């Protein structure tokens, strides 16, 4: 028997895979994992086919397709009025999670401390630990999951190397405000603390609010890796394509890791996406599209016993079941699958300490018929 020393002891299969597997086994409606159950734009898949026929079938350049990087630079400048050099400050990645891993791997040394806000996307903490870093956790609380920046300051030590932000936030659907950014600037000014800003849901912000990116603030932009995802933008999560925006010194370090991690990513899809997003009309209505789905789903659940938390962004709706049961959220979620035929995610899975506020997360990036069917079952809970 080989003696293998695990670098991630206690880490098992992600909750997303576990719940999706259970959903399949019990033929439950899957509102757990965050992916659409409807097709992406046929125009987009036709562009992929065209790119293949046009010969985009070999390795793309390591940093990414030049046309795609230029198109991203144009998109970012139009949306946020900030400039990134496509040659030296934009890197195409194999999805947002790979970009997050690469940014952390490029910067974090053993003993470095990284502040994360929980509930947090589940790749942050394991990656930090894998690299020998120390996770410093700030726990957010429902229903609004607000940040007390004075309390964040108390987490700072001489070893604080990075802060990870996520807005719109997965799983809570909360967003960071301009005031949040100004308070963050006060904390990091005069330090060497870097920021990893996970903005994969940047286009999914509702109720006439706008996405507040770190890019909008020079003091934050100069020290930030900004992570984005085409999967969320184009309803094509299985393509696993994203990108990282960062100032040239940070991008140089990022690419040192990227070149030995994946080197480059899917060539025909890069070309197709560049052609597709060159026309902003192909994606500019996505916030309205998902806001309607959010409102539709919330309306369907209004007559249920679940208490819906605010959802300002992302395609996730959190709900409290505290008036229904005092079960642990993991047990309640499993029972929902087995007895009622709906799969969700227990929000305790997003906390290092498995903090249980009796809240579950639904994904509403589904066909309306799917949402209607799920809601009908959930009204019986």
Report whether pLDDT(13) > 90.
no
Q: Which of 239, 165, 238, 236 is closest to 202 using CA atoms?
A: 165
The tens digit of pLDDT for each residue in 215-270 reads: 999 999 999 999 999 999 999 999 999 999 999 999 999 999 999 999 999 999 99
Return the pLDDT at 10: 82
pLDDT band at 295 (very low <50, low <70, confident <90, very high): very high
Mean of pLDDT values over 29-44: 94
What is the CATH topology of the domain spanning 15-40+284-378? 3.90.1150
Return the pLDDT at 16: 84
pTM attached to this predicted model: 0.96
Q: What residues does 115 pair with on adjacent strands?
A: 136, 163
Q: Name the DSSP letter for residue 206.
A: -
**Range(s) of the chain covered by CATH 3.40.640.10:** 42-282
- Please tell me the distance from the alpha carbon of residue 370 to that of residue 19, in angstroms, as a whole number: 17
Helix segments in the chain, DSSP class H? 15-25, 42-53, 66-80, 96-107, 124-130, 149-153, 178-188, 218-221, 230-234, 248-261, 267-277, 286-301, 329-335, 368-378
Report whether pLDDT(320) > 90.
yes
Report whether pLDDT(332) > 90.
yes
Burial class of residue 378 (count of CB atoms within 10 Å of its CB; 0-12, 13-18, 19+): buried
pLDDT band at 14 (very low <50, low <70, confident <90, very high): confident
Report whether pLDDT(372) > 90.
yes
Residue with more model confidence, 1 or 37: 37
Q: Is 90 helix (H, G, I), strand (E, B) or coil?
A: strand
Question: At 303, phi and psi to the nearest 5?
Answer: -95, 5
Half-sphere exposure of residue 357, counting CA atoms within 13 Å on the CB side? 23
Q: Which of 179, 302, 286, 291 is closest to 231 using CA atoms?
A: 286
Which residue bears the tokens 């409290």?
Answer: 320
Mean of pLDDT values over 332-345: 97
**Range(s) of the chain covered by CATH 3.90.1150.10:** 15-40+284-378
Q: Which of 197, 172, 156, 194 is closest to 120 using CA atoms?
A: 172
Mean of pLDDT values over 332-338: 97
Mean of pLDDT values over 176-182: 98
Report whether pLDDT(317) > 90.
yes
CATH hierarchy code of domain 42-282: 3.40.640.10
């Amino acid at each position: 028997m080989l003696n293998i020393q695990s670098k991630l002891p206690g880490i098992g299969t992600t909750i997303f895979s576990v719940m999706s597997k259970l959903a399949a086994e019990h033929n439950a409606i899957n509102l757990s994992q965050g992916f659409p159950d409807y097709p992406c734009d046929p125009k987009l898949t036709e562009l992929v086919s065209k790119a293949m026929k046009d010969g985009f079938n070999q390795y793309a350049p390591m940093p990414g397709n030049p046309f795609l990087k230029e198109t991203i630079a144009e998109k970012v400048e139009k949306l946020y009025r900030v400039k990134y050099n496509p040659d030296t400050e934009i890197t195409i990645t194999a999805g947002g999670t790979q970009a997050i891993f690469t940014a952390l791997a490029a910067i974090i040394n053993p003993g470095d401390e990284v502040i994360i806000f929980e509930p947090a996307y589940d790749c942050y903490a394991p990656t930090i630990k894998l690299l020998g870093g120390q996770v410093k956790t700030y726990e957010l609380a429902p229903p609004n999951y607000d940040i007390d920046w004075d309390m964040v300051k108390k987490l700072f030590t001489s070893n604080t190397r990075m802060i990870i932000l996520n807005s719109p936030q997965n799983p809570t659907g909360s967003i960071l405000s301009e005031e949040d950014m100004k308070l963050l600037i006060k904390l990091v000014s005069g330090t060497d603390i870097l920021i990893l800003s996970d903005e994969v849901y940047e286009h999914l912000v509702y109720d006439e609010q706008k996405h507040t990116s770190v890019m909008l603030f020079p003091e934050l932009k100069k020290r930030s890796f900004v992570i984005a995802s085409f999967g969320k933008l184009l309803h094509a999560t299985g393509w696993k394509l994203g990108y990282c925006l960062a100032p040239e010194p940070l991008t140089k370090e990022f690419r040192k890791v990227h070149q030995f991690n994946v080197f480059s990513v899917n060539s025909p899809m890069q070309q197709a996406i560049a052609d597709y997003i060159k026309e902003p009309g192909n994606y500019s209505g996505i916030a309205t599209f998902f806001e309607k789905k959010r409102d539709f789903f919330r309306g369907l659940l209004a007559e249920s016993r679940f208490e819906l938390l605010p959802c300002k962004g992302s395609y996730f709706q959190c709900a409290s079941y505290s008036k229904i049961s005092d079960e642990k959220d993991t047990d309640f979620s499993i029972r929902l699958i087995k007895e009622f035929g709906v799969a969700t995610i227990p929000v305790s899975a997003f906390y290092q300490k498995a903090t249980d506020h009796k809240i579950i997360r639904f994904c509403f990036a589904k066909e309306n018929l799917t949402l209607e069917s799920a809601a009908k079952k959930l009204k019986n809970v």
